[in-house]
Amino acid sequence: MAITLVNPSGLPEIDVYRQVSVATGSKLVFMAGQVAWDAKGVTVGEGDLAAQVEQCYLNVATALAGVGASFNDVAKLTVHVVDWTPEKMPLFLEGAARAAAKLGVTPVPPATLIGVAALDVPEHLVELEAVAVID
């Protein structure tokens, strides 16, 4: 495994991610931000943040698998959420937990959540991108 996740002493421990990742692999994997599209480009969960978060995580897993990687290889996640407010966190966590259960993983690499005004189309509420490192 090319990624070691760490919560250094002196920083808060956050349940849903680790503060630092150390990558030792030889190939970097960058992907386009993944939105709540199914394989045919149809939006999943229109108006449902939890459903869209789940689909985004599943799409990231599909993209990773396509290059021989998994969530264990992810060094950094960046999440963009339309009209973010802290009150939306339970829905975000629900969608992430549902995806984790389906995938059999606990994706906790360092993450940044950014509130945005809009994404590519009005139906999309969330976009998730990952950087991974593989051997």
| CB 50, CB 96: distance < 8 Å | no
Q: Is 22 helix (H, G, I), strand (E, B) or coil?
A: strand
Average pLDDT (104-127) is 95
What contacts 77, CB < 8 A, 6 or more positions away? 17, 60, 107, 109, 110, 111, 112, 128, 129, 130
Q: What is the overall mean pLDDT for the chain?
A: 94
Distance in angstroms (rounded) separating the CA atoms of residues 82 and 133: 28
Residues β-bridged to residue 129: 78
Pairing mode of beta strands 27-30, 126-134: antiparallel
**Each residue's pLDDT tens digit, 80-112:** 999 999 999 999 999 999 999 999 998 888 999
**Each residue's pLDDT tens digit, 56-70:** 999 999 999 999 999
| CB 81, CB 114: distance < 8 Å | yes
Residues β-bridged to residue 126: 81
Sheet holding 27-30, edge to edge: 27-30, 126-134, 74-82, 111-116
